[in-house]
Chains A and B, each alone.
Chain A
Amino acid sequence: MKRRDFLKVTVGGTAATLCTTAEARSNLEPAPQAVGMLFDSTLCVGCKACVSKCKQVNDMPPVIDGDELGWDSARDLSGDTLNVIKVYREGEAKTKDAEINGYCFEKQSCMHCVDPGCVSVCPCNAMRRDGLTGIVTHHPDVCIGCRYCMVSCPYNVPQFEYNELFGQIQKCQMCNQAGVERIDKGQMTGCAEVCPTGSTLFGSREALLQEARRRMELKPGEIYNYPRGDVRDPYSYHEKPAPTYKQHIWGEKEAGGTNVMHISAVSFDKLGMPPLQERSAASIAETVQHSVYSYLALPALALAGLSYTVRKNTRDDNGGEQ
């Protein structure tokens, strides 16, 4: 059965059980002026300029692995790494962008979900989605460290600083957290700015989506003029024959979509993207939660009913027992 069909069945079938009075909440829509990034895996050469720029913007130390002192060797996101380039390798790893015997690079950082799980589940509103730009920021001043945001993020993005006694959650905030505010100041994200190949592009979600769709249309080998920087106003271009793109814009629809989107010549499950459906888990969780609680009206009613019954029964009970 298709996931959507099964959702229909389960939604319908269990509505009664859950005393549904609240409307099912569907996926959130993209923010009106959503900004994001487009990562084109076929352009990435693995130079990790974005990793080091990200550390500079966010004032984080490099991660040193063994003797490799020359550059940042972070292999995974952590409290010290908000952005990481991972390698896909298969067989002899000879040909760039080939699934078999090939290799390619994949960027991992916050996807800035349109319907972010981390925001939906945070008990204290320490994760916030900006109403205008859709940028998801973290606010440690009210965070209790329950780490539900980590559990509910499909991409395992939020990272807790386990190694510090007074640690906090760290995640990419699209270079727009208080004190940095690159986007508010009209700049682009650090990683997009330094990317030499335009593999990481900045821009509005709409413009990026259009660019991604244009690339989907390219015939393999066709020369295309690839922009660098902000897709709406690139600072330069370079020409390159188009690869064989997979006809899939990751983040257009997945779990409600993301503001950071990826395209690639290697399928996304091989690049470590999670198995997501179109409906966001957050929207299902909120539907259930609000059905059960109907904004606290139901529990209040239940308490009244219970108190009455209990009172009646304990009275009879005392009379009967003594």
Chain B
Amino acid sequence: MSNHQALGGRIFTGPFIVLLVVFVIGCVFMVERFTEGMGAVSNLNGGFAWGIWVVYDVVVGTAFACGGYALAFMVYVFNKGQYHPLVRPAVLASLLGYAMGGFGAFFDMGRFWQFYEIFIPGNWNFNSVMLEVGLCVTAYIFVLTLEFAPALLEKLGLDGLLKALNKVLFLLIALGVLLPTMHQSSLGSLLIAAGHKVHPLWQSLHMQPVLALLTALIMGFSIVIFEASTSAVGFGRESESPLLAKLGKVIIGLLVAFLVIRLIVLMTQGKLGLIFGFDFASLMFLLEMALFVIPVFILLSPARRGRGSQLLIAAVSMLMAGALYRFSAFLFTYNPGPGYSYFPSVAEIMITLGIIALELMAYLVLVKTLPVLHPEKHA
């Protein structure tokens, strides 16, 4: 019944070994973090309470992991069955990306030994955006695990379980649309309470959740294109350009919506003048705008849209645009007040790289051993 196949092949390839080395180095610092404390490995301070563990691993990383969300949205809600071949690899990438976010959050948790306090209903503060993010991301990791489970069950030949799971799959997919909509918008809402510390060009207050959600969808679709194109090159598979080109059209709408809302917010807040201040924040803003506008032009032309290389450029541009939007808001232009500065330490960077390496290794192993990718003729 499934059209997916395991890729097979050697596990210990050159790239895999490089990743393994990065991971091992990361592990050394991870051990230090959990023996000496956060201060020993990170440059976090009283003004910058959140560094790259929160901002990259959770805020940006989970947006990179929105492929599963974006596709679930398209395939099932809008009844576009033709994107099916892309779903399973996207779900796997999402699962790994969110797992990485979970890891990062745990490393970052100052009182990790009592992390469970956030799962105790008696403690819940329903005013807290962090509560929503914490619970919702956790729930989504479970949902993704179940969404991906068919790949494992097929491999193990557990048909009974597979059938049972398929019966509730509709519920999982509905949750797979609902939960990311909730927490991806909340990741934006986190910024509201930071008030003046968020640079005016990024402090859209009431529109934070909307802008964050749009970047999540844009990045989600882009990562699908990116993964499909690179795995076409990397694993020597036929490209799925026609499918990808169709996705491109959906993305134009999202990009335009983002740009229009972003500018209208700045206009109504009377902040347009800040755009051309040509200070660091203004340059970051202009760069972000450029990265959002370039793909619009690429995707608008049917000829360019059809070409794999152009699509890949558009996808990379959008991924960088979304990541830059979030990085700028949470870190680059974030200003807690005089006397505070932050640049990640080597250890912080290595721990994050270590987790990324682990994520990539897991992806490589799983697509080679489990039925994840679609055979070429169906693409």
* Co-complex (A, B): yes
Give chain A's interface residues, CB within 8 Å of chain B: 1, 6-7, 9-11, 13-14, 17-18, 76-78, 117, 120-126, 140-148, 150-152, 154, 156, 159-169, 255, 272, 274-276, 281-282, 284-290, 292-293, 295, 299, 302-303, 306-307, 309-311, 313-314, 316-317, 320-321
Contact B196 A285 (CB under 8 A): no
Shortest beta-carbon distance from A298 to chain B in Å: 10
- The 8 A CB mask of B77-116 against A (1 = contact, 0 = none) is 1110100100000000000000000000000111111110
Contact A148 B205 (CB under 8 A): no
Contact A321 B126 (CB under 8 A): no
For the side of the interface on B, what is the size category? 35 or more
Contact B182 A306 (CB under 8 A): no
- B118, B174, B194, B206 interface centre (most CB from chain A within 10 Å): B206
User: CB of B189 within 8 A of chain A?
Assistant: yes
Give chain B's interface residues, CB within 8 Å of chain A: 34-40, 42, 44-47, 49-50, 76-79, 81, 84, 108-115, 117-118, 120, 123-132, 134, 169-171, 173-175, 177-178, 181-182, 185-186, 189-190, 192-197, 205-210, 265, 268-270, 336-340
Contact A11 B206 (CB under 8 A): yes
| 26 A-B pairs in the complex with CB atoms less than 8 angstroms apart | A10-B206, A14-B207, A18-B210, A120-B128, A121-B129, A123-B128, A124-B123, A124-B124, A144-B114, A144-B115, A151-B197, A162-B37, A165-B35, A168-B110, A274-B197, A281-B196, A286-B127, A288-B206, A289-B132, A293-B132, A295-B126, A299-B182, A307-B171, A309-B174, A310-B170, A310-B174
A residues near B129, Cβ cutoff 8 Å = 121, 285, 289
A120-B127, A124-B124, A164-B37 in contact; A144/B177 too (CB < 8 A)?
Answer: no
B residues near A150, Cβ cutoff 8 Å = 46, 49
Contact B37 A167 (CB under 8 A): yes
A120-B128, A123-B124 in contact; A284/B205 too (CB < 8 A)?
Answer: yes
Contact A123 B35 (CB under 8 A): no
Per DSSP, chain A at the interface is: helix
Q: Give the distance in Å from the alpha carbon of A122 to the alpha carbon of B117 in the complex.
A: 12
Contact B268 A147 (CB under 8 A): no
A residues near B40, Cβ cutoff 8 Å = 163
Q: Give the distance in Å from the alpha carbon of A55 to the alpha carbon of B210 in the complex.
A: 45
Contact A169 B185 (CB under 8 A): no
Q: Give the distance in Å from the alpha carbon of A124 to the alpha carbon of B134 in the complex.
A: 11
